[in-house]
Amino acid sequence: MADSIFQVSIIGYGQVFHIPFVAATKNLRLHSIVQRKPSGGSSAPTDHPEAKHYTSFDQALQDPDIDIIVLCTPPNTHFDQTKRAIEAGKHVLAEKPFVPSSAEAEELAKLAKEKNKLLCVYQNRRWDGDFLTVQHLLQEGKLGRIYEFETHFDRYRPDSPTRSWKSTLAMADGNGAIYDLGTHLLDQVYVLFGKPTAAYGKFINQREGRLVSGANGLEDEPDSIHATLTYAERGLLVHVRIGVLSAESKQPRFWVRGSKGSYHKTGLDAQEPQLIGGMKISDSGFGVDGAAYNGTIDIVQEDGSIQDYTLPNIEPQTYLKFYELLAGALLSGKQEDLPVPAEEAVEVLKIVEAIKESARTGKEISVA
């Protein structure tokens, strides 16, 4: 059983974000790629002649050799495609955002259990080096009781996106800042602290300089988000920030404050830009942040003074760890062995929905 090979089909051509990890994982093999219209600049048949190539999702569903479908398609298609894949006897890995609503996510999770199929969501940033460092600090208790946690995904992008579905798909369909980037940050917060008691959110269109509610179509949707999550029993506030006009050479990433110390980190994880730049996951230095982006930690000493020092990230596991865990779950057949079970994505989507409702109503919303 340990030598079993699971055949993987990629739906939507992902040149750098999935295929390299599939290829590097012992029990997985790239079987096929679905690309509707290969072109000179993006051609799966040219880049991967060793794989089968299909131009429709139906062709992949009808192939009896495929074990697991990886959905790299727009989020408004995920519910239908996931449901059909499970009913066709396939396991499914869906890119985030999983689906637009927690109700849809719950329905799919229930179906997967009924059909005895594994359903996983690609929340790969659980394996960001800086996040793993924060997780390690909290597990060690080095910062004491955490009372304030701030997480950012800020960039300086004054021009709106004009290409791909991200420029036209509405928030109601699982698009926009709260789904595209917010699900990364909220998933990391969920891993660290679980589900909050309540959420308060503000939606902003920073490019146009106006507050929006997100409730009245594309013109009323945000490019930036400020949200505060309350953990009443912990006495903890978590601030989630996404911005597109952050004119800083080193963008803020984490600021963690505890009763015995604090941790501050700038810069996003290195893996995504490294992959886009052509770096191989087997290359030395993959997943390692440059020294300029080391974190800073302040610790209260026995005499009450505060000492600060530089804290590099812990040794990276990289996104390959996600795929290794996925392969392990396929071998065991157990949903609980998945790196990100669908049930956890359901809980994150409930937080998303509370933030959306808060931005619409102007009120703090309890998280169901």
Residue extents of the structural domains in the chain: 6-124+321-339, 125-317+349-366
Query: Nearest to residue 245, comparing CAs of 281, 195, 204?
Result: 204
Q: For residue range 181-209, what is the model confidence (pLDDT) as tens digits? A: 999 999 999 999 999 999 999 999 999 99
Q: Which is more confidently placed, 15 or 91?
A: 91
pLDDT band at 128 (very low <50, low <70, confident <90, very high): very high
Q: What are phi and psi of 289, to 5 degrees?
A: -70, 150
Rounded to an integer, what distance in angstroms lies between the CA atom of residue 189 and that of residue 131? 10
Tell me the residue type at 40.
G
pLDDT > 90: percent of the chain? 89
At 1 the pLDDT is 55
Rounded to an integer, what distance in angstroms lies between the CA atom of residue 172 and that of residue 223? 14
Average pLDDT, the chain: 95
At 40 the pLDDT is 76
Q: For residue range 312-340, what is the model confidence (pLDDT) as tens digits? A: 999 989 999 999 999 999 999 999 999 99
- Residue with tokens 């701030």, as numbered in its chain: 150
DSSP code for 291: G
- Residue with tokens 């791909």, as numbered in its chain: 164
Provide the sign of the torsion angle of the four alpha carbons 47, 52, 56, 58, taken in this order.
Answer: negative
Provide the sign of the torsion angle of the four alpha carbons 37, 40, 42, 44, taken in this order.
Answer: positive
Record the tokens describing residue 155, joined without a space.
């960039």
At 212 the pLDDT is 96
Mean pLDDT of 77-92: 99
Residue 104 has pLDDT above 70, yes or no: yes
**What is the widest separation between alpha-carbon atoms in the chain?**
69
Tell me the residue type at 112.
A
Rounded to an integer, what distance in angstroms lies between the CA atom of residue 168 and that of residue 161? 9
Which of 6-15, 248-257, 337-346 has the weakest average pLDDT?
A: 6-15
Q: HSE on the CB side for 242, CA within 13 Å?
A: 21
Mean pLDDT of 281-292: 92
Whole-prediction pTM value? 0.96
DSSP strands (E only) in the chain: 6-11, 28-34, 52-54, 68-71, 91-95, 119-122, 146-154, 198-205, 210-212, 224-231, 236-243, 252-258, 261-266, 295-300, 306-311, 365-366
Residue count of the chain: 368
Mean pLDDT of 242-271: 97
At 164 the pLDDT is 73
pLDDT > 70: percent of the chain? 99
Rounded to an integer, what distance in angstroms lies between the CA atom of residue 13 and that of residue 50? 15
The Cα angle at residue 130 between residues 129 and 131, in degrees rounded to 5: 95
- Tell how strand 52-54 and strand 28-34 pair up: parallel
Q: Tell me if 207 sits within 8 A of 160, measured CB to CB.
A: yes
At 216 the pLDDT is 85
At 368 the pLDDT is 83
Residue 60 has pLDDT above 70, yes or no: yes
Rounded to an integer, what distance in angstroms lies between the CA atom of residue 338 and that of residue 121? 9
At 2 the pLDDT is 61
Indicate if 125-317+349-366 has the same CATH topology as 6-124+321-339: no
Mean pLDDT of 286-296: 93
Mean pLDDT of 24-33: 97
CATH of domain 6-124+321-339: 3.40.50.720
Any idea which fold 125-317+349-366 has? Dihydrodipicolinate Reductase; domain 2 (3.30.360)
Record the tokens describing residue 237, joined without a space.
């506030």
Q: For residue range 151-185, what is the model confidence (pLDDT) as tens digits? A: 999 999 999 887 677 778 899 999 999 999 999 99
Contacts of 339 (CB under 8 A, 6+ apart): 120, 123, 126, 321, 322, 325, 326, 329
Burial of 317 (0-12, 13-18, 19+ CB in 10 A): middle
Record the tokens describing residue 240, joined without a space.
């989630």
pLDDT band at 217 (very low <50, low <70, confident <90, very high): confident
Record the tokens describing residue 338, joined without a space.
């998945």
Q: Which is more confidently placed, 298 or 1?
A: 298
Residue 33 has pLDDT above 70, yes or no: yes
pLDDT band at 14 (very low <50, low <70, confident <90, very high): low
